Amino acid sequence: MSQPQFKQMRRAYGFDDVAIVPGGHHTINPSLVELSFKLGHLDFQFPFIAASMDGVTDVKMAVDFSRHGGLAVLNLEGIQTRYDDPDPILAEIAAAPKSEVTALMQKVYSAPLQPNLIGERIRQIKAQGGIAAVSATPMNTKKFAAIAADAGVDVFVVQSTVTSARHISTSEKGLIFDELVRNMRDVPVVVGNTVTFSATKELMETGIAAVLVGVGPGAACTSREVLGIGVPQVTATIDAAAARDTYYRESGRYVPIITDGGISNGGAMCKSFAAGADAVMLGSILAAAEESPGRGHHWGMATPHGELPRGTRVKVAIDTTLERILFGPTSRTDGRENLVGALRTAMGTCGARTIRDFQKTEMVIAPAIKTEGKSYQIAQG
């Protein structure tokens, strides 16, 4: 008689559950470490990407982030492509009472998308010397990708709560990533989001340039509460990195993974790379910059969903600048500024000269890492 089969569960870990083990055989001066990030044929000075959220990235932020050496992604299904002048709408969202803001956003985001604004926003970014990266959901990708390509887009991101290489629906022919990659030619196509080995590897096999990793960890996302789905970011990143490395051994093609969501300070950012990330996507931590369009507020792409919102507006306050967030100098002790300096210092302390070296750094399960010996800090807030 066969034994009954039981569902098995394993433990998964988030940023607060783990720590990076420093000082192996040697350490390196932080000024000597290499932080560059390559996406397709594009090279960036550091591996940080500004999230495709309306409270984080607009044309100005995309240009500013490019000038600093990084990449910012504009949401093609947000306020920037629904309204000729987005500023009054952003101001209205920022001023709305908490009890009314989701209903307001549902109304604001019900305005029709204007395809002409897609090309216009891309051309505005490029005219000011910025790198134009844009994001669309799978539903609108085929329609918007062609418009974006004609406007000279540099990076195209396909993004939804969960994305897989094979999607079953009633549509006669859904989005085929192999075809999208061929049609976009030299434009790198980034796809997300995933949290598993198998989904990540299957997406890489379609020819895409990078994969976004993370379901539900973002400060403004409520998918985990509404749908009950997600995997803590450290485990999700480790599993996706294993898929990347397996695919690289099989194909000889290296496809970067980008940890997306839940990175609220330098410690979480550094743990992402130690877990295997090649780059990170940042949202709420950038929304606090003077340059961000959200006026001290941050919300996710699914927040204004007309039938099932999966996000909320969070207040982050405007208390810093993009320059200080990225490069400092800073007097803060909470890890929200000088992210480049934090990454350089962590890598140097672990003897990692490159991001690929840092990915090999030992990590330990350490749920007391933030509280051990910190009684005074905890008591004093």
| Residue 33 burial by Cβ neighbours in a 10 Å radius (0-12, 13-18, 19+) | buried
Annotated active-site residue 11? The verdict is: no
Within 40-132, strands assigned E span 42-44, 48-50, 71-75
Six-digit token string for 366: 């350490």
Six-digit token string for 223: 């998918």
Cβ count near 249 (within 10 Å) = 8
The torsion angles phi and psi of 208, rounded to 5 degrees, stand at -65, 165
Annotated active-site residue 350? The verdict is: no
Distance CA(99)–CA(93), nearest Å, equals 12
Catalytic one of 310, 313, 336, 344: 310
What three-state secondary structure class fits 50? strand
**DSSP state, 34?**
B
Q: Which amino acid is at 294?
A: G
Looking at the DSSP bridge assignments, the partners of residue 258 are 212, 279
With CA atoms as reference, report the closest residue to 132 among 207, 52, 213, 37: 52
What three-state secondary structure class fits 249? helix
Task: Return the residue matching tokens 């996706």.
Answer: 240
Catalytic one of 82, 121, 221, 324: 221
Distance CA(187)–CA(179), nearest Å, equals 13
Distance CA(67)–CA(51), nearest Å, equals 16
**DSSP state, 14?**
-
Cα-based distances in Å from 320 to 56, 61, 269, 287: 14, 14, 18, 10
Distance CA(356)–CA(360), nearest Å, equals 7
Catalytic residues: 221, 310
